[in-house]
Structure 1
Amino acid sequence: MSEGDEQTGFHLRQSTTDDLSFAREITCRNMLRYYMNYDLLWQDDAFDIAWAGRENWLIVCGTTPAGYFSLSRDARALYIRELQVCEAFQRRGAGSWAIDQVVAMACRERRPAVRLTVFKNNPAQNLYRRKGLVEQGGDDCFLRMQLDLSTRVL
């Protein structure tokens, strides 16, 4: 999947091991404040292990990496494990566009839902709600959100 979107200028590129340092850096930069807020420890090694076990896609604008997302799957859903957008591309539609790409993947694969987890104090949950994801539960730190595709008319 590398087709671009003429309207937004974004396209996807499947990531390689060469993209790991970019992904780790942007994730740490974007998420460290949430980790600190909940007294969680950021660990590069844990990130690297998780990255290796997921399907990772770079969000690219022209030739510039704008962010990435990581996916996993089971029979119940396509899971967004990470969705990170570089600060320069935030509030420019990259996150919304990326979610649209994931939803399209889930529909093509006939997955019943798209799921993700977000820190309770992360304003990205507002984007997820606008894209149709609804809260399904949570804990002290996180909200679990889901977009049910099995009943949608597409």
Structure 2
Amino acid sequence: MVFELRPASSADLCFARELTRETMLRYYIQHDLRWQDEAFDVAWAGRENWLICQGDSVLGFLSLSRDAKALYIRELHVIKTDRCKGAGSWAIEQVFSMAREERRSSLRLTVFKNNPAQVLYQRMGLSVVGEEDCFLRMERMCSAAP
């Protein structure tokens, strides 16, 4: 299967917000956290956002941020009917390549402790490096691109 990352625009905000809410709301409820559309919208505006596509179909999106050392996956969501088909793994590998090309020391993300996606993240080389409340912090170290 051939996947592609396309830059997301403000026109994709509603799709991304709805997909994230659909995917994450149960974790928010389980951990007594409050979902806020406005908070998602503010975060979206301050991040680099990409659509995960296959041909003309949008399968999901990812949202990135950076600091001096790391590239962070802030959101990674795939439409339910398109999960377990390789798009998430492919997207993580693309972001890891970005981190290497930018000479970042690591790729990082945070995941709910009870989210089964952490199995995918571990398979993709990310390790648990810390935890806070209901979250695990995960990281994959990079070496600079040759």
Q: Does 1:22 align with 2:22?
A: no
- 2:28 aligns with 35
- 1:130 aligns with 123
- 1:107 aligns with 100
TM-score by length of 2: 0.97
Task: Please point out which of 138, 143, 146 is paired with 2:136.
Answer: 143
SS in 2 for 1:132: coil
Structure 1 position 153, deviation (Å) = 9.1
Distance 1:16 1:60 in 2: 14
Across the aligned residues of Structure 1 and Structure 2, the Cα RMSD in angstroms comes to 1.3
- 1:83 aligns with 76
2:17–2:41 Cα contact (<8 Å) kept: yes
Task: Please point out which of 64, 84, 92 is paired with 2:85.
Answer: 92
* CA displacement 1:19-57 (0-9 Å, x = unmatched): 000000000000000000001000000000000000000
SS in 1 for 2:122: helix
2:61–2:78 Cα contact (<8 Å) kept: yes
Q: Which has the higher contact order (CA 8 A, sep 6+)?
A: 2
Which residue type is aligned with residue 96 of structure 1?
Answer: S
TM-score by length of 1: 0.92
SS in 2 for 1:59: strand
Q: Number of aligned residue pairs: give it.
A: 146
Task: Please point out which of 49, 60, 71 is paired with 2:53.
Answer: 60
Taking only the aligned residue pairs, the percentage that are identical comes to 60
Distance 1:76 1:110 in 2: 8
Which residue type is aligned with residue 83 of structure 1?
Answer: L
- 2:64 aligns with 71
Which residue type is aligned with residue 79 of structure 1?
Answer: Y
Moved over 2 A (4+): none
